[in-house]
């Protein structure tokens, strides 16, 4: 540890933006590792709004008992419009200093990190981000907290949909979350045996999909499932289903939008371990002088990436996964 350790005595932690399974595990790791290193740790409730409104309280080891397996975030989360303003950030800083806080840990996605980046630069506050989003769209980490659980939830739903699809020889369009990224779509598509996956990252047209479905019909597939990422450029699952029905009216088509189901539930083992590892690394990073960075795991090693880079770098889907999905969809 360098001399920076002497300057960090009190750490605050908050969760911001959309919730993700494993956020509680990350908070727990931040709290317990802070206590381990003889630091005071404070929880900020309701994201940046809590920092603005002074909704802050000290946490102890027992404050985070029995939350490891719980989905959501006990600190609560919100998207703060006020924090986007200079006046809002000024109020947040006043409360930050009023509580004699030295550093801030932010658990969230790109929007949360953008706010953290601005706050850190405006007030010279040491900030460290932990990637908590089901979308898996942040560079600087192989996986984000909540992604694995969301994929498992989507796959379980697809498996159940396939049961009824097979019983009635139906074509189902299943819309999954992910915003502008297709990571959940491609992974749940492979694990769920989808005939096609429509992603924001690929320029598939309706004609391409029609050909794929016609090929499946000629191979006498008993059921067909098409995964649609919510950011797909062709439209929503309902809109795409209508376009397909107009050309292939012999299909009995149904649509299921999984929605916020994917953000809930007990985190998987992978998400709990990842969240625990990143929570400890966040505290240790601050003690080692890291600031305005996001902690992640790349190739099994902990790495620190500038927040600005983590947010702005476009994370690409592994082309080999898409190739595999195409081979297996016949």
Where do we find the tokens 């920076």? Answer: 4
Return the structure tokens found at 40: 């005071």
Contact 44, 12 (CB under 8 A): yes
b/e per residue 207-223 (b: at least 16 CB within 10 A): eebeebbeebeeeebeb
Return the structure tokens found at 229: 């990422």
| Sign of the Cα pseudo-torsion (234, 235, 238, 239, in order) | negative
Q: Specify burial of residue 6 (Cβ count, 10 A radius: 0-12, 13-18, 19+).
A: exposed
3-class secondary structure, 258: coil
Q: CA-CA distance, 65 to 259, in Å (whole number)?
A: 30
| 241, 286, 302 from 3: Cα distances, Å | 60, 11, 22
Give bridge partners of residue 330 from the DSSP assignment.
none
| Sign of the Cα pseudo-torsion (307, 311, 313, 314, in order) | positive
Task: Establish whether 252 is a catalytic residue.
Answer: no
Return the structure tokens found at 312: 């702005």
Pairing of strands 196-198, 40-44: unpaired
Q: Which of 49, 110, 135, 271 is catalytic?
A: 135
Going by the DSSP 8-state scheme, the letter that residue 318 receives in this structure is -
Going by the DSSP 8-state scheme, the letter that residue 212 receives in this structure is H
For 42-182, where are the alpha helices, taking DSSP H only?
47-53, 86-98, 110-123, 147-168
Residues noted as catalytic? 135
């Amino acid at each position: 540890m360098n001399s920076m350790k002497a300057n960090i005595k009190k750490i605050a932690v908050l969760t911001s933006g959309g919730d993700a399974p494993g956020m509680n595990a990350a908070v727990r790791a931040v709290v317990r590792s802070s206590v381990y290193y003889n630091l005071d740790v404070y929880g900020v409730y309701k994201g940046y709004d809590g920092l603005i409104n002074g909704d802050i309280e000290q946490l102890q080891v027992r404050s985070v008992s029995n939350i490891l397996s719980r989905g959501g975030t006990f600190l609560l989360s919100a998207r703060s419009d006020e924090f986007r303003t200079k006046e809002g950030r000024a109020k947040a800083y006043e409360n930050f200093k009023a509580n004699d806080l030295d550093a801030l840990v932010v658990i969230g996605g790109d929007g949360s990190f953008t706010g953290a980046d601005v706050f850190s630069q405006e007030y010279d506050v040491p900030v460290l981000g932990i990637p908590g989003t089901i979308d898996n769209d942040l560079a600087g980490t192989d996986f984000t907290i909540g992604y694995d659980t969301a994929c498992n939830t989507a796959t379980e739903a697809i498996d159940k949909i396939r049961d009824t699809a097979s019983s009635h020889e139906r074509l189902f369009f299943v819309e999954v979350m992910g915003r502008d990224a297709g990571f959940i779509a491609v992974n749940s598509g492979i694990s769920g045996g989808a005939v096609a996956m429509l992603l924001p990252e690929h320029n598939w047209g309706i004609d391409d999909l029609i050909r794929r479905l016609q090929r499946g019909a000629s191979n006498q597939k008993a059921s067909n499932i098409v995964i649609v990422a919510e950011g797909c450029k062709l439209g929503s699952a309902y809109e795409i289903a209508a376009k397909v029905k107009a050309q292939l009216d012999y299909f009995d088509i149904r649509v299921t939008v999984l929605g916020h189901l994917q953000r809930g539930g007990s985190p998987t083992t992978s998400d709990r371990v990842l969240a625990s590892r990143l929570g400890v690394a966040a505290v240790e990073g601050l003690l080692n002088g890291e600031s305005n960075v996001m902690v992640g795991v790349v190739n099994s090693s902990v790495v620190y990436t500038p927040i600005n880079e983590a947010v702005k770098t476009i994370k690409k889907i592994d082309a080999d996964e898409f190739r595999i999905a195409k081979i297996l969809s016949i």
